[in-house]
Amino acid sequence: MILAAVFELWSSAWPAGLTMLGLGSGFAVVLLIASEKLKVEVDPKIEQIHGALPNLDCGACGFAGCGQYAKAILGNAELLGKCAPGGAETSAKIADILNLQVSDSGPPKRPIIHCRAHADDKTIYAIYQGIQSCTAANALPYVQACGFGCLSFGDCTRACKFDALHIVDGLSTVDYDKCTGCTACSKACPRHLIEMVPFRYENMMTVACSSKESGKSTRAFCKVGCIGCGLCVKQSELFKVEQNIARFDYAQYQMTEKEEAAMNKCPTKVIIYRGKTAPEPPQPRSRTAAATKA
Amino acid sequence: MDTLNILLMGFISVVLINNLVFTKFLGICPYLGVSGRIDMAFGMGMAVTFVVTLSGTLTWMIDNWILMKLGLEVTRYVCFILVIAGAVQLVEMYVRKFFPSLYDSFGIFLPLITTNCAILGLCLFLNLWMIESLLDAAVRSFGAGIGFTMAICIMAGIRENLNMADVPDCLKGAPITLITAGLLSLAFMGFAGMIR
C-alpha cells in the first residue's frame, strides 16, 4: 500500500518536476549567455586591495566602506595610509600591490581622554533625566557643574565598533588592547575631550582635564581638575598653560626626569599616564587629606 | 479599434485605478526605501518597470501555455518566482555594464527587486483579472511598472521637499513618510471603480 502511494505521488509529481527543470534550465542558458555578453571587467587590483584591508567598514578613512576606499586608492595613491585599524601593516601590503613605497607615517594614533573625574570627583547640581546621550545633555547648561568634563552618557562607547570604550564609574575609559585608532570616538564626543595622540611609548603622559574655568572655580566643582597653576611649566618646557589649562606638546614628546618631576609636583594630580600598562593614577592631595581626616 | 480600446483601458486601469502601490499596497519596501532622492527613485522605477514587463509577459505565457495546459496551476508561485529572479539577474548585469554609478547607488535594492511583492503580485493579478491576450498582458505589465515609477517619483518629490519643511520633532523621519504615503494613497483611492 505504501508502494502504491509512493507510485501515485511519483506519477503525479513528475510533470511538475519536469516542467520546473525545463524552465530552470531555459533560464540558466539565457543567463549564461547574458553573463558572457554583459561581462564587466573589474581591475583585479581592487579585489586585492580590498582583501588586504581589514574589512571592518569603520569609516576612519573617510569613505563609506573598505570597498569604496579600495577603489579610491587605485585612482589616487595619495590616499594610502588612511586606514587607521589596519595601520602600517595594511599600508605596506597595499603599497606592495600597487608597486609603491610607503613613507613611515609615525607611531599609531590612539585616543586620550582629557578628563579624569570619576563619579565621586564631580559636582552635580541636579539629576539629569533627559535623553541619555552626551550630545543631548551637552545642549543643557547645567547637567553637571563642569562644563568641560566627561558627561558619561556614552556617546563614545556607542560610536566604538571595537568594544574598546567603556564608562567606568562615571568616566569614559579606553581599553587600549582593543583600540584600533579609528577616530570614531573623538568625532562622537560633543565636548571634544578625546584627542588622537601618536603613541610613541606604551604609556603616554597627559593632562587629563579640559576645564578652561579659572583655577578657583575648577577647584570648587572638581577634585581632580587642572587649576592652571603652572608648576609643571617650571619643571619642563613641554608643558604650556593656556586659558587656565596645562597642555602637553606631543610633537616633542620625550620622557625625561623633568616630566616625571612635573607629574609629581602637580597639586591636583591631573598629569597622569594613559596606555596599555598605565599605573593607577595617584590621588590628589586634597582627597588623601580628607581620607585621613575621616 | 476595439482591441486598442481594451489595451488603453487596461493601461489606464493598472496605472491609476489599480495602482499596485496606492491601492493594492504592494512593493512598499522599495517605495519607502529608495524614495529619498528623485533621480534614484526614477532609476528604481525604470528597473522595476523593465523587470515587471519582462516577467509579467513571460509568466503569462508560461501560465497560459504550459501550466494551465498541464494542469499544474499549483506550481504557479514557484515558476513565477523563478522567472522574476532570472529577469532581475538580467537587469542587474545590464545595469552594472551600462550604468555603473546607478548600480553603485542602488546597492542592495537592485537584487531585492526579486522579492518586490509588486512584481509577483502583478503576475498573479494577470491571472485573477482573466487577461485573455498576450498583448493585453504585456501592456498591463508595462502599465504596472509605469504606475510604480509614478508612485515612487511622486513620493520622492514630496520627500525632497519635506526635508526642507519644519516637521515637528515627534514626526521626523519615518512617521511623516508613512503619513504622506497614506494621504497619497487616499487621493488615488478616489479613482476606485471608474473602470475595472
Question: Residue A210 in contact with residue A195, Cβ under 8 Å?
Answer: no
Provide the residue ranges of all domains of chain A, joining segments of one domain with +.
Answer: 44-98, 109-280
Question: Residue B82 in contact with residue B58, Cβ under 8 Å?
Answer: no
Nearest-CA residue of chain B relative to A20? B79
CA A84-A188-A212 angle, 5° bins: 110
A20 CA: distance to closest CA in chain B (Å): 7
> Does residue B79 belong to the interface with chain A, where contact is any CB pair within 8 Å?
yes
Nearest-CA residue of chain A relative to B77? A20
Chain A residue numbers touching B68 (CB-CB < 8 A): none
Please name the residues in contact with B130: beta carbons below 8 A apart, sequence gap of 6 or more: none
Q: What is the pLDDT of residues B170-191, one digit of tens each?
A: 988 889 999 999 999 999 988 8
> Does residue B89 belong to the interface with chain A, where contact is any CB pair within 8 Å?
yes
For residues A200 and B160, the model is more confident at B160
Q: Locate all alpha helices (DSSP H) within A143-279, ordered by sequence.
A: 155-159, 184-188, 215-221, 231-235, 257-265
Q: Determine the pLDDT at residue A266.
A: 86
Chain A residue numbers touching B75 (CB-CB < 8 A): 16, 19-20
Q: Determine the pLDDT at residue A288.
A: 55
Q: Determine the pLDDT at residue B1.
A: 66
- Backbone phi, then psi, for A144, in 5-degree steps? -140, 165
A162 CA: distance to closest CA in chain B (Å): 25
B192 pLDDT more than 90: no
Q: Determine the pLDDT at residue B52.
A: 92
Q: What is the pLDDT of residues B89-141, one digit of tens each?
A: 888 888 888 888 878 777 777 788 888 889 999 999 998 988 889 999 999 99
Q: Determine the pLDDT at residue B96.
A: 83
Contact B75 A40 (CB under 8 A): no
Q: What's the mean per-residue pLDDT of chain A?
A: 83
Q: What is the pLDDT of residues B133-159, one digit of tens each?
A: 999 999 999 999 999 999 999 999 999
Residue ranges of B 39-68 with Cβ closer than 8 A to chain A:
62, 66-67
> Does residue B93 belong to the interface with chain A, where contact is any CB pair within 8 Å?
yes
Contact A19 B86 (CB under 8 A): no
A110 pLDDT more than 70: yes
Nearest to B97 among A27, A31, A38 (CB): A38
Long-range Cβ pairs for the range A79-86 (8 Å, 24+): A81/A105, A83/A53, A83/A54, A84/A58, A84/A60, A84/A108, A84/A109, A84/A180, A84/A181, A84/A182, A84/A183, A85/A54, A85/A56, A85/A58, A85/A60, A85/A162, A85/A180, A85/A181, A85/A182, A86/A52, A86/A53, A86/A54
Please name the residues in contact with B115: beta carbons below 8 A apart, sequence gap of 6 or more: B29
Q: Could you name the CATH architecture of A109-280?
A: 2-Layer Sandwich (3.30)
Q: Binning pLDDT at 50, 70 and 90, where does residue A123 land? A: confident
> Does residue B110 belong to the interface with chain A, where contact is any CB pair within 8 Å?
no
- What average pLDDT does range B22-39 have in this prediction? 87
- What average pLDDT does range A206-216 have in this prediction? 87
C-alpha cell at position B107: 546597492
A42 pLDDT more than 80: no
Using a cut of 0.80, tell me whether the model's pTM lies above it. Answer: no
Q: What's the mean per-residue pLDDT of chain B?
A: 88
CATH 1.10.15 for domain A44-98: yes
